[in-house]
């Protein structure tokens, strides 16, 4: 409260001064506090009532009442001017040496001495001041240990979080539907947080048990969301098994939605091709048995592709009727993959694997015999945009499940998980061709785009440019050797043949230039067949070389080609026929 000032030199008018004096002399703590509120150091210094008011303050400083001492000390420490502080030095010293001041007022007393250091002579008060400074109650003069405080708060928060999660787990079995639903939603949010995610994951089994016992669809949905948030590569296999068992007996009202979520979990955290195929086919079987609309919306192309893995999957997920229906329907290309463009990499050893507005992925392939390596470069293109983004948690994961895992040995080096805007990182992938193969290995690329707004996730599966052609080595044969080997590989199962219309120029030089980088040098002197274009070579594998003979017969009248390839492995010859025919 500011003090009222008079117009005269006294600084306080008579009426106000009398009120202040009466309040200071009162025995009531509240009235004394009101009186101190009227006082101002500079005003009191120029007042005619200075001696009377200073005497009242000194009386409080040497009082036996701790509350009065506290009010007097507080005013001297905070409101007294430097010239006025000299008046209170003897009383402050007496109070200091008395040793009867309350611990809570020691800091205020030290503050009062700070305002009058030049009036303290010699070492009269030194020992008492040092004793006061070393006291345990002077908390205000010591900076609190911040790191310890933060650590203590973190430990406390985690302990509280443990109890909260346990309470929420118990609430999942409550009789009230609303409480169960709110508990499941809260657990789902906690599962996504950094501080509580691992703690909730310890109770995954409890959440699954609660799901199996739950009958209300409104509660099942948040519980499934919680399970989805808790999944990772370490526990996905067990979670999928439990969810598929529950899906068998789940209510049809939520079976479609639940099946979709289970399929998402299997897709986001795949273990290998065989496991993924088993999981998806189990879902399709359960959905079809339920007779709901979801089965009608299953992509036939995906079903057909899944059933091409029948040799790798469990008998329980084989469905001959489903395979037959899927095979009769047109194949639908997978969305988001680069399967439509990878065939163009057959004749190239470097190029762009994938590109959009944010990322540019290049590759370069090198081979020597049955060994190969791919250099994959990931470049963050957002440095060219108005709002640059940083890529974090970069995780390129190579998928070589099923039979492909036996046919190819793939090992990828670790890559930097953070890519700043405009920067690029490179990854080396080593490949060993153990035996012939027909499928391309895939890479699943995941990272988080951290822009100026909400972070978003990039998640795509990309085919790597590795074909059986990658390990093809041309060989030089004369005409006699070529025909001798040709007739040696004369069995029907060793031959792949296809007639097709030419899509480009049939000029001999044009055809040779297209296939020269793939098949090597053309064999000269082919005898009585001048239109015939022959090549020879071998596929290098760790198990041994596979001889390959190629013969292309152009027919300029009908604008068609007849392509014949003979090879010791029938799967290789049919695959090479498809690759070459797509180029001509």
Q: Please answer whether residues 433 and 408 qualify as being in contact, where contact means their C-beta atoms are separated by less than 8 angstroms.
A: yes
Local structure of residue 311 (DSSP, 8 states) = G
Tell me how far CA of residue 208 lies from CA of 204, 238, 463, in angstroms. Answer: 6, 11, 35
pLDDT in the model for residue 473: 85
Residue 336 lies in a domain: no
130 with 20, same domain: the answer is: yes
Q: pLDDT tens for residues 353-400?
A: 888 888 899 999 988 888 999 999 999 988 877 778 889 989 888 887
Q: Please answer whether residues 115 and 82 qualify as being in contact, where contact means their C-beta atoms are separated by less than 8 angstroms.
A: yes
Confidence of residue 313 (pLDDT cuts 50, 70, 90): low
How would you class 411 by CB atoms within 10 Å of its CB: exposed for 0-12, middle for 13-18, buried for 19 or more?
exposed
Give CA 155 to chain center in angstroms. 25
Give me the domain span that covers residue 47: 14-141
Strand order in the sheet with 533-539: 472-474, 533-539, 546-555, 560-567, 495-501
Residue 441 lies in a domain: yes
pLDDT in the model for residue 4: 41
**Residue 431 phi, psi (nearest 5):** -130, 135
pLDDT in the model for residue 278: 79
Angle between helices 14-25 and 29-38 (to 10 degrees): 150
pLDDT in the model for residue 376: 93
In angstroms, rounded to a whole number, what is the distance separating the alpha carbons of residues 196 and 220? Answer: 22
CATH number for the domain spanning 575: value is 3.30.310.10
Strands 359-368, 408-412: parallel, antiparallel or unpaired by DSSP?
unpaired
Token digits for 223? 């519980």
Which of 15-29, 231-245, 313-327 bottoms out in mean pLDDT, i.e. has the lowest? 313-327
391 with 298, same domain: the answer is: no
Question: By C-alpha distance, which of 121, 101, 122 is closest to 111?
Answer: 101
CATH number for the domain spanning 358: value is 2.60.40.1230
163 with 264, same domain: the answer is: yes
Burial code (b: 16+ CB inside 10 Å, e: under 16) for 300-323 equals: eeebbebbebeebbeeebebeebb
Looking at 115, 141, 167, the residue that finishes a domain is 141
Chain mean pLDDT for the chain:
75
Q: Kindly state the percentage of the chain with pLDDT values over 70.
A: 72
Q: Please answer whether residues 311 and 343 qualify as being in contact, where contact means their C-beta atoms are separated by less than 8 angstroms.
A: no
Q: Please answer whether residues 541 and 434 qualify as being in contact, where contact means their C-beta atoms are separated by less than 8 angstroms.
A: yes
Confidence of residue 155 (pLDDT cuts 50, 70, 90): low
pLDDT in the model for residue 330: 40
| Stretch (H or E) spanning 188 | helix 177-191
Residue 563 has pLDDT above 80, yes or no: yes
Q: pLDDT tens for residues 76-118?
A: 777 656 667 677 777 777 777 666 666 666 667 766 766 666 5
Burial code (b: 16+ CB inside 10 Å, e: under 16) for 239-258 equals: bbebbbebbeebeeebbbeb
Which of 2-16, 227-241, 272-286 bottoms out in mean pLDDT, i.e. has the lowest? 2-16
In DSSP terms, 218 is beta-bridged to none
300 with 193, same domain: the answer is: yes
In angstroms, rounded to a whole number, what is the distance separating the alpha carbons of residues 419 and 398? Answer: 20
pLDDT in the model for residue 259: 83
Token digits for 479? 């005409």
In angstroms, rounded to a whole number, what is the distance separating the alpha carbons of residues 534 and 479? Answer: 9
Mean pLDDT computed over 419-432: 90
Q: Kindly state the percentage of the chain with pLDDT values over 90.
A: 3
459 with 310, same domain: the answer is: no
244 with 168, same domain: the answer is: yes
Residue 206 lies in a domain: yes
393 with 324, same domain: the answer is: no
Provide the 3-class DSSP secondary structure of residue 116.
coil
How would you class 509 by CB atoms within 10 Å of its CB: exposed for 0-12, middle for 13-18, buried for 19 or more?
exposed
Residue 175 has pLDDT above 90, yes or no: no
Domain count, the chain: 4
Token digits for 284? 């399709």
In angstroms, rounded to a whole number, what is the distance separating the alpha carbons of residues 494 and 471? Answer: 19
Q: pLDDT tens for residues 232-246?
A: 877 888 888 888 888
Q: pLDDT tens for residues 183-214?
A: 888 888 888 777 777 788 888 888 888 888 88
User: Can you tell me which residue has the tokens 């198990």?
Assistant: 543
**Residue 13 phi, psi (nearest 5):** -75, 165
Provide the 3-class DSSP secondary structure of residue 399.
strand
pLDDT in the model for residue 430: 92
Looking at 466, 500, 524, the residue that finishes a domain is 466
Residue 400 lies in a domain: yes
Residue 5 lies in a domain: no
Q: Please answer whether residues 359 and 423 qualify as being in contact, where contact means their C-beta atoms are separated by less than 8 angstroms.
A: no
152 with 190, same domain: the answer is: yes
In DSSP terms, 342 is beta-bridged to none
How many residues appear in the chain? 584
In angstroms, rounded to a whole number, what is the distance separating the alpha carbons of residues 494 and 6? Answer: 119
Q: Please answer whether residues 374 and 398 qualify as being in contact, where contact means their C-beta atoms are separated by less than 8 angstroms.
A: no
177 with 307, same domain: the answer is: yes
| Stretch (H or E) spanning 560 | strand 560-567
Tally Cβ neighbours within 10 Å of residue 179: 15
Looking at 141, 161, 190, the residue that finishes a domain is 141
Token digits for 76? 């001297």
299 with 186, same domain: the answer is: yes
Q: Between vectors from CA 422 to CA 418 and to CA 423, what angle results, nearest 5°? A: 45
Residue 342 lies in a domain: no
pLDDT in the model for residue 140: 42
Which of 31-45, 163-177, 291-305 has the highest average model confidence (pLDDT)? 163-177
In angstroms, rounded to a whole number, what is the distance separating the alpha carbons of residues 148 and 558? Answer: 86
- More confident site: 424 or 280: 424
119 with 247, same domain: the answer is: no
Q: pLDDT tens for residues 550-561?
A: 888 888 888 888
pLDDT in the model for residue 98: 67
Give CA 31 to chain center in angstroms. 63
Residue 439 lies in a domain: yes
Contacts of 310 (CB under 8 A, 6+ apart): 318, 323
Mean pLDDT computed over 465-493: 80
39 with 174, same domain: the answer is: no
Residue 7 lies in a domain: no
């Amino acid at each position: 409260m500011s003090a009222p000032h008079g117009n005269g030199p006294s600084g306080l008018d008579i009426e106000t001064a009398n009120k202040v004096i009466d309040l200071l002399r009162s025995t009531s703590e509240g009235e004394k506090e009101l009186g101190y509120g009227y006082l101002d150091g500079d005003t009191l210094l120029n007042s005619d009532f200075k001696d009377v008011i200073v005497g009242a303050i000194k009386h409080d400083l040497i009082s036996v009442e701790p509350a009065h001492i506290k009010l007097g000390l507080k005013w001297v420490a905070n409101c007294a001017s430097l010239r006025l502080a000299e008046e209170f030095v003897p009383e402050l010293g007496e109070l200091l040496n008395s040793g009867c001041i309350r611990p809570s007022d020691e800091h205020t007393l030290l503050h009062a001495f700070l305002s009058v250091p030049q009036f303290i002579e010699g070492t009269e008060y030194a020992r008492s001041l040092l004793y006061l400074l070393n006291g345990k109650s002077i908390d205000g003069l010591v900076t609190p240990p911040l790191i310890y405080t933060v650590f203590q708060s973190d430990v406390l928060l985690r302990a509280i979080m443990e109890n909260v999660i346990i309470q929420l787990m118990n609430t999942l079995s409550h009789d009230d539907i609303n409480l169960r639903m709110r508990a499941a939603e809260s657990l789902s949010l906690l599962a996504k947080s950094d501080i509580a995610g691992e703690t909730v994951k310890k109770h995954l089994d409890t959440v699954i048990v609660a799901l199996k016992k739950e009958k209300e669809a409104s509660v099942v949905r948040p519980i499934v969301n919680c399970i989805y948030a808790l999944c990772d590569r370490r526990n996905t296999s067990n979670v999928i098994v439990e969810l598929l068992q529950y899906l068998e007996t789940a209510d049809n009202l939520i079976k479609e939605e639940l099946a979709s979520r289970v399929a998402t979990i299997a897709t986001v955290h795949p273990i290998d091709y065989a496991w993924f195929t088993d999981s998806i086919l189990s879902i399709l079987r359960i959905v079809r048995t339920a007779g709901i609309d979801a089965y009608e919306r299953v992509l036939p192309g995906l079903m057909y592709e899944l059933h091409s893995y029948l040799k790798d999957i469990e008998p329980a997920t084989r469905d001959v009727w489903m395979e037959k229906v899927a095979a009769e329907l047109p194949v639908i290309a997978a969305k988001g993959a680069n399967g439509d463009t990878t065939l163009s990499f057959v004749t190239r050893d470097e190029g762009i694997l994938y590109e959009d507005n944010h990322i540019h992925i290049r590759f370069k392939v090198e081979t020597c015999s049955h060994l190969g390596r791919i250099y994959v470069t990931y470049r963050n293109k957002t440095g060219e945009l108005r709002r640059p983004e940083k890529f974090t948690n970069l995780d390129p994961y190579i998928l070589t499940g099923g039979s492909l895992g036996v046919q190819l040995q793939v090992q990828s080096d670790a890559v930097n998980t953070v890519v700043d805007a405009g920067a690029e990182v490179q990854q080396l992938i080593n490949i060993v061709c153990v035996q012939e193969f027909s499928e391309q290995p895939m890479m699943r690329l995941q990272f988080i785009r951290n822009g100026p707004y909400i972070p978003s996730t990039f998640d795509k599966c990309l085919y790597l440019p590795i074909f059986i052609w990658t390990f093809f080595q041309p060989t030089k044969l004369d005409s006699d050797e070529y025909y001798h080997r040709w007739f040696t590989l004369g069995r029907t199962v060793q031959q792949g043949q296809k007639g097709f219309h030419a899509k480009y120029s049939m000029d001999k030089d044009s055809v040779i230039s297209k296939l020269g980088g793939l098949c090597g040098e053309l064999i000269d002197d082919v005898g009585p067949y001048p239109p015939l274009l022959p090549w020879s070579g071998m596929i290098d594998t760790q198990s041994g070389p596979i001889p390959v003979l190629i013969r292309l017969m152009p027919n300029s009248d009908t604008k068609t080609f007849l392509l014949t390839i003979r090879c010791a492995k029938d799967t290789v010859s049919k695959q090479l026929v498809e690759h070459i025919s797509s180029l001509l």
